[in-house]
């Protein structure tokens, strides 16, 4: 495992390897934090190793302040409560410990706390991000506990707007944490189902970034290698949650997906965002469901890329059909659902209602081909009825 330890600066300072969590207190000091606020979720806060983290910070004179009122699909109210906690404690830094939900809330709290307006004033529309004074955003350290969203290296967060139940992307360049401590040991207790869902999220990020139009060979290369890591190590992590090598590679694949999707995402995410806001379905599960149906929709414009992908992954069958067969087999192997029957309350009427929201989602702008509301509704219905 010593070979799976590294320090690098792409796209932010990143330290990966078993046991790196022990460096948290010193890392806080390196960034000038004297009163950090830990933002996490209730599940992580209840884990045995978490109390050791707070004790280590306290012993280093950094306090042990924790905010953990974070929902699986976090809302604007979660951010408001976190802002109140940060201001009340006059905290000068934020430590993000958790999966995408805690990361997105913590990053949004850091953005909004000492800047004007509320979290949705910084939705990723136009130049909204310029409303914030970057100097007022405290430094952040990210400690991912899942291997999926890659939010630890991202410049945005996804927050549910309770007014319309839509997921909104909140963006500012300084929302990217200054440092990532990626310790695969904290993922060893992740249940198999959550391992699968978060892993498929990482795959969706890599896949959509690879398929997104535009010239970005660096993102394409990262996405390809990220998909190779998922193909090789996600089944292992799912089968044996104590496989530290597989866990390490999956943490890397998650960060690679979020690094690659600076090139863009696509229809998978454009559909998943409104669906998650309306039904609460886990984002990774939604992405896993939509992937093959979106592949069919995009087929005529991604077939060349599927040829290269199939050869890179050394699939038994080349081309689009080979990638599709692998995608379906992987989902089945991981026990992921094939249809939107898994989404509570989803029906044909909801498909029609959510379709315009999918069209308006920022992820749609980089889908390989554009989809109007009617096309989005057809993909929703295909996923509902399992029609490929």
| Residue carrying structure tokens 């050394």 | 314
The yes-or-no verdict on residue 9 having pLDDT over 90 is no
Q: Where are the domains of the chain?
A: 2-186, 190-385
Give percent above pLDDT 90 in the chain.
94
Please report which confidence band the pLDDT of residue 3 belongs to, taking 50, 70 and 90 as the band edges.
Answer: confident
Calpha distance 363→370 (Å, rounded): 11
Tokens found for residue 313 = 């992954």
- Full-model pTM: 0.94
pLDDT averaged over every residue in the chain: 96
Give me the percent of the chain exceeding a pLDDT of 70: 99
Q: What is the pLDDT of residue 6?
A: 85
Rounded-to-integer distance, Cα 199 and Cα 237, Å: 9
Average pLDDT over residues 120-124: 95
Report the DSSP beta bridge partners of residue 148.
Answer: none
190-385: same fold as 2-186?
no
The CATH code of the domain at 190-385 is 1.20.1090.10
Distance separating alpha carbons of residues 350 and 367, to the nearest angstrom: 22
Q: What pLDDT does 7 receive? A: 85
Per-residue pLDDT of 71-89, as tens digits, reads 988 999 999 999 999 999 9
Give the pLDDT band (50/70/90) at residue 165.
confident
pLDDT for 8 beyond 80 = no
Q: Does domain 2-186 have CATH number 3.40.50.1970?
A: yes
Instruction: Please report which confidence band the pLDDT of residue 345 belongs to, taking 50, 70 and 90 as the band edges.
Output: very high
């Amino acid at each position: 495992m010593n070979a799976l330890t590294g320090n690098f600066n792409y796209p932010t300072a990143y330290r990966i390897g078993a046991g790196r969590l022990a460096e948290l207190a010193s890392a806080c000091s390196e960034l000038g934090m004297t009163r950090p606020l830990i933002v996490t979720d209730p599940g992580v806060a209840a884990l045995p190793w978490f109390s050791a983290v707070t004790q280590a910070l306290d012993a280093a004179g950094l306090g042990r302040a924790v905010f953990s009122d974070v929902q699986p699909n976090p809302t604007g109210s979660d951010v408001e409560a976190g802002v109140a906690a940060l201001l009340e404690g006059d905290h000068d830094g934020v430590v993000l410990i958790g999966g995408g939900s805690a990361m997105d809330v913590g990053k949004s709290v850091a953005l909004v706390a000492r800047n004007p307006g509320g979290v949705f004033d910084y939705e990723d529309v136009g130049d909204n991000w310029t409303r914030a004074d970057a100097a007022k955003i405290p430094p952040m350290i990210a400690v991912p506990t899942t291997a999926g969203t890659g939010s630890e290296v991202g410049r945005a967060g996804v927050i549910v707007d309770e007014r319309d139940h839509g997921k909104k992307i909140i963006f500012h360049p300084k929302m990217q944490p200054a440092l990532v401590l990626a310790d695969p040991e904290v993922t060893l207790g992740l249940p198999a189902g959550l391992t699968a869902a978060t892993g498929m999220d990482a795959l969706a990020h890599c896949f959509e970034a690879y398929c997104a139009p535009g010239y970005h060979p660096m993102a394409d290369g990262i996405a390809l290698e990220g998909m190779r890591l998922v193909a090789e190590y996600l089944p292992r992590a799912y089968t044996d949650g104590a496989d530290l090598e597989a866990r390490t590679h999956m943490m890397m694949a998650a960060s690679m997906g979020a690094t690659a999707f600076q090139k863009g995402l696509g229809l998978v995410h454009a559909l998943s965002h409104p669906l998650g806001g309306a039904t609460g379905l886990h984002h990774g599960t939604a992405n896993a469901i939509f992937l093959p149906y979106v592949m069919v929709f995009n087929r005529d414009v991604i077939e060349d890329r599927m040829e290269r992908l199939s050869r890179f992954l050394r699939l038994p069958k080349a081309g689009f059909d080979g990638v599709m067969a692998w995608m379906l087999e992987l989902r089945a192997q991981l026990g992921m659902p094939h249809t939107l029957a898994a989404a509570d309350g989803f029906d044909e009427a909801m498909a029609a209602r959510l379709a315009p929201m999918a069209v308006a989602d920022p992820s749609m702008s980089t889908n390989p081909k554009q989809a109007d509301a009617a096309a989005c509704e057809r993909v929703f219905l295909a996923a509902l009825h399992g029609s490929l």
